[in-house]
Amino acid sequence: MRRKLRSPLPQRHGLDPVRLRTPDDGPWRTMREHLVERLPRVDPARIDEMLREERIVDLTGPLALDAPFVPRSFVWFHRDLPVEAPVPFEIGIVHRDEHLLVVDKPHFLATIPRGKHVVETALVRLRRDLGLPTLSPAHRLDRVTAGLVLFVITPELRGRYQTLFRDRLVRKTYEAVAPYRPDLTLPRTVRSRIVKERGVIRAQEVPGEVNAETHVELVDHAGGLGRYRLRPLTGRTHQLRLHLCSLGIPIVGDDLYPELLDTPLDDYSGPLQLLARTLEFTDPVSGEPRRFESGLRLRAWEPGGRTDAPEGSSARS
């Protein structure tokens, strides 16, 4: 098993540099020519600027503008970051030991870098703020969902904890606030087939073999709202949101179901009232039972609750 080459560049903002391997052969005279073709979304003038600033390197050091093309070699660089609106809510630390970090992720903060969200993500913030450059998530939560996320501190153990989630060996409960329907018989298990096409923002339920199951319980109700406990038996994209919507009780603050609303990314006034409340599993390293519970609350269920101020904003890391 080959050892992965260590990058000559350090992390920046908690992010590893991009690594590119050059082809075995090609028509390029210089590394610049190859990079211009390899990175069509980057302006050639920007590539020139990065080369002049010595921001693109190989194992021997920075590449010159006229550096000859070298087949089967590696180069590293940091991508330019998108302009991001700061997410003004902190991450709460629920548990930390030698191997694991469990946090309360606030609403509106993505778990990992993706698309328009890079620095303003839980992974990047935690790597930077806690000085844990090799931290990695064992699973993910949607950006708009708050609650528990488990990260692995020890790189060698990452696969063992990720496998727990892949093999559905983690028992999860969620909490949601949604309309109360006195005619709806609960508890019940909702079963359907959910598909999510790449590039399409919403998932949908379609006829066919069941691939999504959620157990739904009503915990309490008041003022026309219900507080629901959700136990997902599967992990399809937007499963909980779709299943409650299919019951006629869409989650308060949902801007996708039943109707797609055009909400700006920096509008924090109406958080989705969905919270990852508990995680339970048998630790694959120690063999001991583990149980973690979120310390966050869903604001819509609080006395005089409003959904225009995200809960969790006072959590301290």
* Calculated CA dihedral for residues 264, 270, 272, 277, nearest 10 degrees: 130
- The DSSP output letter for 157 is G
**Consecutive H or E run containing 178:** strand 171-179
Please state, in angstroms and as integers, the Cα–Cα distance from residue 153 to each residue in 14, 57, 111, 277, following that order: 14, 28, 15, 22
**Is 151:136 a contact under the CB 8 Å cutoff?**
yes
Phi, psi of 243, deg, nearest 5: -70, -40
| Active site residue ranges | 142
Q: Is 128 helix (H, G, I), strand (E, B) or coil?
A: helix
DSSP-assigned letter for residue 53: T
Q: Give the list of residues 6+ apart from residue 81 with CB closer than 8 angstroms, or none.
A: 13, 118, 119
Q: Which one, of 118, 110, 116, lies nearest residue 91 by Cα?
A: 110
- What DSSP state is assigned to residue 229? E
Residue 225 DSSP SS3: strand
Kind of pairing, strands 100-105 and 92-96? Answer: antiparallel
